[in-house]
């Protein structure tokens, strides 16, 4: 709440620069405030600062909660927002509530990071005009392909995800499974691996519901080998590493297991703090997304839509492969500093 109040105070002090006689206010709504999503805030605000008469509003839940996210979108509609970019937490609920209301109000909606899934009655393009973000299935495949390089003869696997109904995360799970099994699945998240090309998932993926402490505890059970044991761990998001102090405290006692590839650790995202941990060999591979670019393209796309310019309906932002050996080149792709007010 304090963050929201501060944000509102700051925006109330900003100068209004006219464009075609009207200030345009575009909202970027993350799943929740986090190391990952807050980079999209920098991208949207830096870009808005470069366009006369455009303002970026960054507003989301403190923790992942679709009802809170829905309330925030409704607030933005009531405030007369000119366009909304939203990372979908739960497709069906948002589609039937705030997103439908935005459409009826004539407010353009695009999605970023996480798109609508097939739990909605409509096609995604009936509710949103564009999607900006990672190709989540391909990110999952990349995670699986990197694991195959480190374990070419197969092995046992435990995966970690956030919510069971998260559209983008289920695509990533399916991508991992497709890369390891060689199968084409009819729908995400695919099927549990069972001696598919030498790969077996020893249990259903851990669900941490975006709770960082829970994510660290789940990962610690893998490192301990209790109550279940696996020689490979893939997290399709950066949850455990987003609490750097807790992650380091948990993982350092198992350094020899990492060094000896007794447990292979592959984790999504590559924030500066995650790369610091990678440099210290506290994981094997991080595959980074580009949330800054998502925020940047969200503002550019909403501005094009409102000003009747041509725009791309799908923009896939790039991923990068980071290891302790190429740390220097990965860290050079630093997040730009926020624009000054």
Same domain, 97 and 215: no
CB-based contacts of 53, cutoff 8 Å, min separation 6: 16, 17, 18, 19, 20, 22, 23, 24
- Interior CA angle at 324 toward 320 and 326, to 5°? 50
Q: Which domain holds residue 256?
A: 136-288
Q: What is the arithmetic mean of pLDDT over 310-324?
A: 96
Query: b/e per residue, 291-307, with b = 16+ CB within 10 A?
Result: bbbbbbbbbbbbbbbbe
The yes-or-no verdict on residue 97 having pLDDT over 60 is: yes
Quote the pTM value.
0.86
Percent of the chain with pLDDT over 70: 91
Give the pLDDT confidence score for residue 230 in this predicted structure: 97
Same domain, 268 and 183: yes
Instruction: Check if the beta carbon of residue 232 is closer than 8 Å to that of residue 147.
Output: yes
Here the tokens at position 336 are 């730009």
Same domain, 107 and 213: no
> Is omega for the bond preceding 227 within 30 degrees of 0, making it cis?
yes
Overall number of domains in the chain: 2
Same domain, 69 and 100: yes
The rounded distance, in Å, linking the Cα atoms of 128 and 122 is 11
Q: What is the CATH number of the domain that holds 70?
A: 3.40.50.2300
Cross-strand pairs, 158: 233
Least confident of 11-20, 119-128, 231-240, 290-299: 11-20
pLDDT confidence tier of residue 16, bands split at 50, 70 and 90: very low
Q: Is residue 7 included in any domain, yes or no?
A: no
Each residue of 178-199: pLDDT tens digit?
A: 999 999 999 999 999 999 999 9
Q: Is residue 328 included in any domain, yes or no?
A: no
Q: Quick one: CA dihedral 48, 49, 50, 55, positive or negative?
A: positive
pLDDT confidence tier of residue 91, bands split at 50, 70 and 90: very high
The yes-or-no verdict on residue 144 having pLDDT over 80 is: yes
pLDDT confidence tier of residue 335, bands split at 50, 70 and 90: low
Same domain, 284 and 140: yes
Instruction: Check if the beta carbon of residue 233 is closer than 8 Å to that of residue 219.
Output: yes
Q: Is residue 333 included in any domain, yes or no?
A: no
The yes-or-no verdict on residue 226 having pLDDT over 60 is: yes
The yes-or-no verdict on residue 331 having pLDDT over 90 is: no
Same domain, 241 and 301: no
Which residue in 306, 214, 292 sits closest to 25, CA to CA? 306
Tell me the H-state helices in the chain: 2-12, 37-49, 66-78, 91-96, 98-104, 136-150, 167-181, 212-224, 244-251, 255-259, 272-279, 291-306, 327-331
């Amino acid at each position: 709440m304090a963050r929201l109040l501060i944000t509102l105070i700051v925006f109330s002090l900003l100068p209004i620069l006219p464009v075609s006689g009207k200030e345009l206010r575009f909202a970027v709504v993350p799943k929740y405030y986090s190391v990952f999503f807050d980079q999209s805030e920098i991208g949207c605000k830096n870009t808005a600062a470069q366009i006369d008469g455009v303002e970026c509003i960054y507003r989301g839940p403190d923790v992942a909660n679709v009802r809170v996210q829905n309330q925030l979108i409704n607030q933005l509609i009531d405030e007369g927002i000119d366009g909304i970019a939203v990372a979908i937490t739960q497709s069906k609920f948002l589609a039937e509530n705030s997103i439908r209301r935005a459409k009826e109000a004539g407010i353009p909606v695009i999605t970023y990071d996480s798109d609508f899934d097939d739990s909605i009655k409509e096609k995604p393009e009936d509710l949103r005009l564009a999607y900006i973000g990672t190709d989540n299935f391909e990110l999952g495949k990349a995670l699986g392909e990197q694991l195959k390089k480190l374990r070419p003869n197969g092995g046992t696997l435990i995966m970690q995800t956030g919510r069971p109904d998260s559209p983008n995360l289920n695509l990533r799970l399916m991508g991992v499974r497709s890369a390891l099994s060689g199968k084409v699945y009819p729908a995400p998240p695919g099927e549990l691996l069972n001696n598919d090309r030498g790969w077996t998932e020893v249990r259903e993926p851990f669900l941490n519901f975006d709770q960082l402490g829970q994510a660290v505890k789940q990962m610690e059970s893998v490192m301990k080998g209790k109550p279940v044991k696996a020689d490979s761990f893939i997290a399709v998001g950066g949850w455990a590493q987003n609490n750097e102090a807790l992650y380091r405290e948990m993982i350092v006692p198992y350094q020899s297991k990492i060094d000896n590839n007794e447990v292979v650790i592959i984790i999504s995202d590559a924030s500066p703090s995650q790369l610091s941990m990678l440099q210290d060999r506290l994981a094997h591979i991080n595959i980074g997304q580009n949330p800054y670019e998502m925020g940047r393209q969200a503002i550019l796309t909403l501005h094009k839509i409102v000003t009747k310019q041509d725009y791309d309906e799908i923009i896939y932002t790039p991923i990068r492969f980071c290891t302790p050996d190429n740390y220097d080149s990965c860290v050079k792709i630093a997040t730009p500093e926020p624009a000054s007010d």
